[in-house]
Structure formats: C-alpha cells, structure tokens
Amino acid sequence: MTRSGTRSEAVVEIHDLTKKYGQLTAVDRLSLTVHRGEVFGFLGPNGAGKTTTLRMLLGLIRPGSGDVTVLGGRPGDPKSLRRIGSLIEGPGFYPYLTGRTNLQTMARYAGVPASSVAPALEAVGLADRAGDKFGSYSLGMKQRLGVAAALLKDPELVILDEPTNGLDPQGMRDMRELIVDLGRQGRTVILSSHLMGEVQQICERVAVIDRGRIVREGTVEQLRGDTELELVATPSDTALATLRALSFVDSVRVEDGRLLVTVGPRHTAEITRALVHAGVAVTGVRRRERELEDVFFDLTTHQPDHSTHPDREPSHV
C-alpha cells in the first residue's frame, strides 16, 4: 500500500527465494512484494539474512532458487540498475580523495552528469565537508557519503542497508527525515535495520526476517497489534500458568515483576475473572501500547546460534 492507501504497481517481487552456502541456508523460501512509493522496512537480527537478500536483489550474488523481479527486470539487469541507488554494508571510497571527488568519480562510472554531485551532498548534509578527504571522515560521515552515492542516479528505488550506522542523534534524525522525504517524492525505499524505533517512525510496511525466513509482514500498526494488558498479580506463578492456559491470550511475558499480556481489549474482564477464580490477587490492571521493538523480540528471540552465517561474515560472500 502507498501513503495514499491505494495499491500501486510492484517494484520488487520475490517468490520462494533461497540461498544456501554448503549446509547452511542463509535465505529460506522468502517471498515478499514492495510497492512503488512506499518506505519498506526489512528487519532482523544480525545474521538473519537481510544483507544476503539485498545483495541478491542487486545481482551481487546469485540465488540458489526462486524468482526475483526488480523494476520489471531480473536482478543485476543494467536497465534496472540504472534506476536503483544502494548502500550495502559499509561504503567503499578512495580514502585519499575528497568526498566530492569520490562522488564525481562514481558519477562518471555511472554515466550521470557531474551536476548531480552537489545536490546529493546537500541532501545528506555534507556540502560543507565535501572538500575533505574521505579518510578523515568519521564513521557517520562515511555513511552519509554512501547514501549520497546512492542518490546520484536520481533513482526510483533506493536500497539502504543500516544507513544510520555510526550517526549521532542529530544525524539519525536528519537521515530519517531524508528517507521520509524520498518516499514523499514517489521513490521506493527498502530500509534494512535493526533499530526498531527508527523503523517505527518512518516505515509504512515491514517484514521481519529471522534465520532466513519471513516470520511476520504487514504495516507497523498490524505488527504492533493489540495493546498489551499490564497486570500486577500474586502469586505470579499461578497467574502466569492461568494466563497461558487461556485460548484467547496470544502471549504472556514477565517484565520487572509485571505480567504483560497480548490480548484483544474485549477480553480484559475475562482475564480478571479467570485470575480471581484461580485464587490470584490482582492489584493492578492497565493497558499500554506495544512498541515495535517488543514485537521484534517476541518474533526473533531464541537460543544463540553460533554457526557461521554469510551476513556475519560479509567478506566471505
């Protein structure tokens, strides 16, 4: 869905995309669609398969199986790539050249006019440091220059992998505003991130990937779902067992001695009655909205996996 609420054409279509490295499945039968003009969040913990998927969209690595269409073409098709700007992992520039000269060099290779450099630098707030050598840039400034490079071709589709990495709070806010503005201009943005607050503020739809699979997809509001019911009840073990036995309760977790229950608002009275009937003293009840971060951890928390994963070992991909 676009910001106007009407469905537009698909810019990215992925069906049963799979990528394996030996016995390790990095991306596992992944399917999703991204529509024109939306800011789409691609979320997952480190090693979940985000960067591997984005690399396949750009034709940097070949899928093992599945179908992918990007701007009507196959991944890596030159006609499609001319309409795509991207920042995957850390930006790579010549350290002994200035920021401006680096972009001018990239512009020549990309076949775009040198006049595109100044607006790109201005968009990311680097106009006043464009004459400094890239090697002297801070991590945040390097990220900004990487995003500027992604904008050189005036792209229809912008793919950004952790674009706020290394930015200070002001830089993060500026980057959020830039991404939102790209969406307002009618561009499509795919934003890979593990920062839930950032995604909640700027993305319309999100997909959560974990261990190579999409575990949830929808609007931010849909993922946040129902508000949580916060309970103070004793004995807590009896309360926890009672709540988990109720069929209409989606999930229960304990936080600072309180029970946080994901359930529809119409069941509040039923929950209270069930607890009292079980001999539980309920001394506090209130509703609170779930943050996207809470949903993310509910979906992706599991036992640590210490196996090697291509997203954790980018130099080997």
> What is residue 235's predicted lDDT score, i.e. its pLDDT?
93
**DSSP E strand stretches across the chain:** 10-21, 24-35, 39-43, 65-70, 84-87, 157-161, 188-193, 205-210, 213-219, 228-234, 251-255, 258-262, 281-288
Higher pLDDT, 228 or 303: 228
> What Rg do the C-alpha atoms of the chain give, in angstroms?
23
Q: Summarize pLDDT for 147-178 with one digit per residue, the tens.
A: 999 999 999 999 999 888 878 888 888 888 88
User: What element of type H or E holds 169?
Assistant: helix 169-184
Q: What is the mean pLDDT of residues 69-81?
A: 93
Q: pTM for this one?
A: 0.74
* pLDDT, position 25: 93
Dist. CA 150–CA 189, nearest whole Å: 11
pLDDT at 259 exceeding the cut of 50? yes
pLDDT level of residue 244 (50, 70, 90 thresholds): very high
Question: Are 34 and 42 contacting, i.e. CB atoms less than 8 angstroms apart?
Answer: no
| Residue 189 C-alpha from the chain's centroid | 11
Angle of helix 169-184 relative to helix 139-151, nearest 10 degrees, comes to 10
User: What are the pLDDT digits (tens) for 61-73?
Assistant: 999 999 999 999 9
Tokens of 128: 């006043």
All domains of the chain in start order, with CATH = 10-223 (3.40.50.300), 226-289 (3.30.70.100)
Q: Is the dihedral of CA 288, 208, 180, 1 positive or negative?
A: negative
* Residue ranges with strand state E in 22-89: 24-35, 39-43, 65-70, 84-87
Strand-pair partners of 286:
230
